[in-house]
Amino acid sequence: MSLGVAFRSFFRALSDRGFSDRVGAMLDGKTPTVELPRSIPTVEVQPPREIVREVIKEVNKPTPGDSLRLLAVLQRDGRLLDFLGEDIADYEDAQIGAAVRDIHRDCKKTLEKYVDLAPVLSEAEGGNVTVPAGFNPGHIRLTGNVKGQPPFRGTVAHKGWKAKDVRVPPADPGADMIIAPAEVELS
């Protein structure tokens, strides 16, 4: 599963009610309903092999719930959202450094537990690389003086990250869009 796809799905579900309803139905084990247009548009028919590839990609996409659960675990174990939501302008650098050290350690441990990460490029940062014709711009972003046609020669500025495997923890029942529950201390 791709963490990028999970985040894209999360944000699309926030802005597209129909998409969110279909995903919710699938998560509940139901067949999602789709409104059909009153007139059927002309559709270019793809070869069966392409259709199968598209279906496989769609089935393997993480749901917005997966993204939220991973974000919830990063919040639960590392307090990531609390830190990112905090205005740190008035804190001393030493205070921020101490807080970041704990958050970094805890979030890193959580990511290692739930996501197997690997670099997109095997070449070392600062090393030379050739980007071939037909490269996937979702995998490699070209920066600097981009002119002409590939292959391109350049220097690796960042190796990139990809998820080789994602093991999202199960959702808590009834916590559809809750990332972290509110806490109420009773006296």
Q: Are residues 129 and 63 in the same domain?
A: no
Q: Is residue 104 part of a domain?
A: yes
- 36: pLDDT confidence band, cut at 50, 70 and 90? low
Q: What are phi and psi of 11, to 5 degrees?
A: -70, -35
Q: Is residue 187 part of a domain?
A: no
With a cut of 90, say whether residue 73 has pLDDT above it. no
Total count of domains within the chain: 2
Q: Are residues 84 and 138 in the same domain?
A: no
> What token pair was written down for 102?
């704990």
Q: Is residue 12 part of a domain?
A: yes
Q: Is residue 41 part of a domain?
A: no
Q: Which domain holds residue 134?
A: 120-160
Q: Are residues 70 and 147 in the same domain?
A: no
Distance CA 29, CA 21 (A): 12
Q: Are residues 73 and 151 in the same domain?
A: no
Could you give the percent of the chain with pLDDT greater than 70? 76
pTM: 0.56
Q: Are residues 12 and 71 in the same domain?
A: yes
- 133-177 pLDDT, tens digit per residue, is 998 988 999 999 888 898 999 999 999 999 888 887 776 776 667
DSSP state of 8: H
